[in-house]
Amino acid sequence: MAEYNKEKRQAYWRENVRLMVILLSIWFVISYLCGIVFVEELNTIRLGGYKLGFWFAQQGSMYGFVAIVFTYAHLMAKLDRKYDLHE
Site for other proteins, rule CB under 8 A: 6, 9, 12-13, 16, 20, 23-24, 27, 31-32, 35-37, 39-40, 43, 47-51, 54-55, 57-59, 61-63, 65-66, 68-70, 72-73, 76-77, 80, 84-87
Of 66, 60, 28, nearest to 45 by C-alpha is 60
CB 52 within 8 A of CB 45: yes
Residue 47, phi then psi, degrees to nearest 5: -125, 90
In angstroms, what is the minimal distance from the CB of 54 to other proteins? 5
Closer of 45 and 63 to other proteins (Cβ): 63
